Amino acid sequence: MTPLDKNQLVEKFSAYAPHVDTALLIKAYDFSIKAHGDQARASGEEYFIHCRSVATSLVDWKMDLPTVCAGLLHDVLEDTPVTAAAMTAEFGEEITRLVSGVTKLEHFQYSSRDDVQAENWRKMLLATAQDIRVIIIKLADRLHNMQTLSYLTDEQQQRISHETISLYAPLAHRLGMFQLKGHLEDLAFQRLWPQEFKDLEAKVNAQLATREATLKKFKESVEKALAETQLPHRILSRSKSLYSIYGKMQRQAKPFEEIQDALGVRIITDNIADCYALLGTVHTQFKPVAGSFTDYISIPKMNLYQSLHTTVMGPDGELVEIQIRTEEMHRTSEYGIAAHWRYKIGEHAKDAHLEEKLNWLRQWIEWLQDLKSPREFLDSLKTDLDLHQVFIFTPAGEVKSLPAGSTPLDFAFTVHTAIGMACVGAQVNNKMVKLDYQLKSGDICKIITRKGSVPKKDWLMFVKTARARSKIRSYLREKGIVA
């Protein structure tokens, strides 16, 4: 991706926000150039190219004016003599708050790299709880850093790639930014396991022509079937990232040749009623695979994602995964939470629907803030960002999603804090289990409580989620049992 210059940046921003005055954007561009002066990156390029690249990603994601300005200025407080007071005087409190949220802490305050990393994440997440745009700027920053890793030492490349694949990519996933997640994963995969990346890339490329021919034929047959409905639609191919294929190989312990990876298409239409109508046509024309249908429109994922998912048998017996969604759902699936700023550019009132959807993120961040040990904080962060989840049923049939490896205690605290605090036992599928039992998708879990029962210190040894850990630790600290 080539970073945009000032005129290109203004032009691209104005294309989706035509009524917003771009004078502040021009001012931020010029201010950042002057502030960074003759600073250079490890590549030898002028440092400001990085700021332009971050702003370019933010404009690609159609973020609002303060966010794009903060992207241009995001390293000014950290790397130049400019103070927060001076920035506030020039750009106001909102932009300065965003830049401060992205700015790392001073390293000399902490005794180890783990402490530094944990405190930086803690600070950034605390700022994110106040304004989600902080993490979106940070993700744009990390994307360009990953794209220019080759100029750093091998040790730096490994460390940054590991942090990207274990923290940043999962965070992009949790925010629904699937396109970015796949890009970050593949950039990190290339650095962490270069030979595996090279081998897999060659195998995928060798198979590409055959897959594209099969996909083209299937799309033509779908197009023919859907044309008769006269419903508005467009059909897109869907390609998987190399790292997602590699992950599947690892989980199934199979070589690439044995991975039954279905072809994928997306059908984009205008409204929800048309989504279901098109699904009916697809199922009439092509044999659906039993048990493959999932309705994420009526029950959206926590990260705002919505689509109808089904797998059908193609004309030549090939399996094809189909996702059916509206244009707005498609924007959300590509850009996640970032997509919602497209409809609130400028000084419009906050999107109440978005605010409600962000409550899970704020609550999760609040729990993480309660963890005092840097190592415990990072471990909990990685656990809660884990893409692999299990889906557990309450006896009443309600579904709760938890990180893989979660226990009945984690489930109890997910249902309600009071149930977790008074938990004395659990039944899974009508059988008594220990509280450290690892739950599996589809389990029905019943929590047994007793009035007056309280959390135990040894619970901290096996709970997985930040919420359970935070609530247990808070109670034990209050009673003077832990520091």
Task: Encode the chain in three state secondary structure.
Answer: CCCCCHHHHHHHHHHHCCCCCCHHHHHHHHHHHHHHCCCECCCCCECHHHHHHHHHHHHHCCCCHHHHHHHHHCCHHHHCCCCHHHHHHHHHHHHHHHHHHHCCCCHHHCCCHHHHHHHHHHHHHHHHHHCCHHHHHHHHHHHHHHHCHHHCCHHHHHHHHHHHHHHHHHHHHHCCCHHHHHHHHHHHHHHHCHHHHHHHHHHHHHHHHHHHHHHHHHHHHHHHHHHCCCCCEEEEECCCCHHHHHHHHHHHCCCHHHCCCCEEEEEEECCHHHHHHHHHHHHHHCCECCCCCEECCCCCCCCCCCCEEEEEECCCCCEEEEEEEEHHHHHHHHHHHHHHHHHCCCCCCCCHHHHHHCHHHHHHHHHHHCCCCHHHHHHHHHHHHCCCEEEEECCCCCEEEEECCCCHHHHHHHHCHHHHHCEEEEEECCEEECCCCCCCCCCEEEEEECCCCCCCHHHHHCCCCHHHHHHHHHHHHHCCCCC
pLDDT digits (tens, 9 = 90+) for 86-139: 999 999 999 999 998 888 644 434 445 666 666 677 666 666 666 778 888 999
Average pLDDT over residues 180-200: 94
Fold observed for domain 194-336: Beta Polymerase; domain 2 (3.30.460)
Residues 6+ apart with CB under 8 A from 477: 483
Q: How confident is the model at residue 254 (pLDDT cuts 50, 70, 90)?
A: confident
Lowest mean pLDDT among 51-65, 264-278, 294-308, 435-449: 294-308
Residue of 333, 186, 175 whose CA lies nearest to 247: 186
Mean pLDDT for all residues in the chain: 84
Active site residue 356: no
- Judged against a pLDDT cut of 80, whether residue 199 lies above it is answered with yes
Q: What is the pLDDT of residue 372?
A: 61
Average pLDDT over residues 240-256: 85
Centre a 10 Å sphere on the Cβ of residue 260 and count the other Cβ atoms it contains.
8
Q: What is the pLDDT of residue 347?
A: 40
Q: How confident is the model at residue 370 (pLDDT cuts 50, 70, 90)?
A: low
Q: Which two tokens stand for residue 46?
A: 């002028």
Q: How confident is the model at residue 215 (pLDDT cuts 50, 70, 90)?
A: confident
- Judged against a pLDDT cut of 90, whether residue 40 lies above it is answered with no
Residue of 319, 293, 321, 291 whose CA lies nearest to 308: 293
Q: What is the pLDDT of residue 107?
A: 40
Interior CA angle at 380 toward 375 and 383, to 5°?
125
Evaluate whether 194-336 and 388-478 have a shared fold: no
Q: How confident is the model at residue 198 (pLDDT cuts 50, 70, 90)?
A: very high
Q: What is the pLDDT of residue 346?
A: 42
pTM: 0.73
- Judged against a pLDDT cut of 60, whether residue 343 lies above it is answered with no
Active site residue 351: no
Average pLDDT over residues 64-85: 94
Sign of CA dihedral 21, 133, 126, 184: negative
pLDDT digits (tens, 9 = 90+) for 272-330: 999 999 999 999 999 998 888 989 888 777 667 889 999 998 888 888 889 999 988 88
What distances in angstroms separate CA 44 from CA 9, 30, 41, one per listed residue? Answer: 23, 21, 5
End-to-end CA distance of the chain: 49
pLDDT digits (tens, 9 = 90+) for 387-440: 566 778 888 887 787 888 899 999 999 899 999 999 999 999 999 999 999 998
Average pLDDT over residues 170-185: 86
Instruction: Please compute, for residue 85, the number of CA atoms within 13 A of its CA located in the half-sphere on the CB side.
Output: 0
Share of the chain above pLDDT 70, in %: 82
Interior CA angle at 268 toward 267 and 270, to 5°?
140
CA-to-CA distance for 329 and 324, rounded, in angstroms? 9
Q: What is the pLDDT of residue 129?
A: 62
Catalytic residue among 60, 78, 131, 295: 78
For 6-192, which CATH superfamily applies?
Hypothetical protein af1432 (1.10.3210.10)
Domain extent listing, the chain: 6-192, 194-336, 388-478
Q: How confident is the model at residue 264 (pLDDT cuts 50, 70, 90)?
A: confident
Q: What is the pLDDT of residue 113?
A: 63
CA-to-CA distance for 367 and 364, rounded, in angstroms? 5
Q: What is the pLDDT of residue 358?
A: 61
Q: Does domain 388-478 have CATH number 3.10.20.30?
A: yes
Average pLDDT over residues 369-382: 65
CA-to-CA distance for 176 and 170, rounded, in angstroms? 10
> How many residues in the chain?
483
CA-to-CA distance for 63 and 81, rounded, in angstroms? 28
Q: Edge-to-edge, what's the strand order for the sheet holding 308-313?
A: 233-237, 263-269, 319-326, 308-313, 294-295
Q: What is the pLDDT of residue 65?
A: 94
Catalytic residue among 30, 79, 327, 436: 79
Q: What is the pLDDT of residue 334?
A: 75
